[in-house]
A and B are shown apart, each in its own frame.
Chain A
Amino acid sequence: GAGVSQSPSNKVTEKGKDVELRCDPISGHTALYWYRQSLGQGLEFLIYFQGNSAPDKSGLPSDRFSAERTGGSVSTLTIQRTQQEDSAVYLCASSLLAGDQYFGPGTRLTVL
């Protein structure tokens, strides 16, 4: 079956612009996670969604970062007023409840 998909695969933006990254989880997976992979910080948890529960936002690095998940499926991660330190690969993963997480290919964000 189809895995987790993310778009775009690459995004280059200018400092100060807003960006939106999209994640399509595996069909039927109730849980969705965002992580960030950067040279300086390694792989970090950002945010977690589970069904209609309030999301766990404890990993978001600043209030410029936000995410939503519409209809319990697709999720969008938004970064406002991007900074150069936001350059990273943003990874999405999904799972059944608290099961094994399956990762998408990531979106490589470059902020110039």
Chain B
Amino acid sequence: GNSVTQMEGPVTLSEEAFLTINCTYTATGYPSLFWYVQYPGEGLQLLLKATKADDKGSNKGFEATYRKETTSFHLEKGSVQVSDSAVYFCALSGHSTGGGNKLTFGTGTQLKVEL
């Protein structure tokens, strides 16, 4: 079945540091890949996505590239801010009967950015 593995947290960085959160996946077929973010006290929000190999998703300074050869979708940001402190979830879509895309999530990585 489908699975997502992401690096354990928590990750603590100083403001303006470079961020990488590793994510690898196992899936049949060609899933779409996502990063979701959960800010403290808020719901899950879609951060970025990529739908096919070599696509790069980007949003709010975050980027991730769909690497089929390494089955990876690592999240990066060049200069983090305190406001980026949140839990980040890597996910992939798998097909549901009836045409839906049920998501398989990683365990989440908590990021804390300090001044």
Contacts and interface: CB of A to CB of B under 8 A. Distances in A.
B98 A103 contact: no
Most chain B CB inside 10 Å of its own CB: which residue of A33, A51, A104: A33
A2 interface: no
Interface string B90-106: 01000011111111111
Contacts of B44: 91, 93, 103
Interface residues of A, number: 28
A43 B108 CA distance: 9
B29 interface: no
A98 B104 contact: no
Contact of B103 (A45, A50, A56): A45
A62 interface: no
B46 A100 contact: yes
Interface string A50-68: 1101111011000000000
Given A42-B107, A54-B97, A100-B49, A33 B102 contact: yes
Interface in A19-64: 31, 33, 35, 42-45, 48, 50-51, 53-56, 58-59
A37 to B, nearest CB: 9
B45 interface: yes
B66 interface: no
Contacts of A48: 96, 98, 100, 102
B43 A105 contact: yes
B105 A56 contact: no
Contacts of B103: 33, 35, 43, 45, 101
A39 B96 CA distance: 25
A93 B34 CA distance: 15
A106 B44 CA distance: 9
Given A33-B100, A50-B96, A97-B99, 20 more contacts: A33-B102, A42-B106, A43-B108, A48-B96, A48-B100, A50-B100, A51-B98, A53-B98, A54-B97, A54-B98, A55-B98, A58-B97, A59-B102, A91-B43, A93-B44, A98-B101, A102-B46, A103-B36, A103-B44, A103-B45
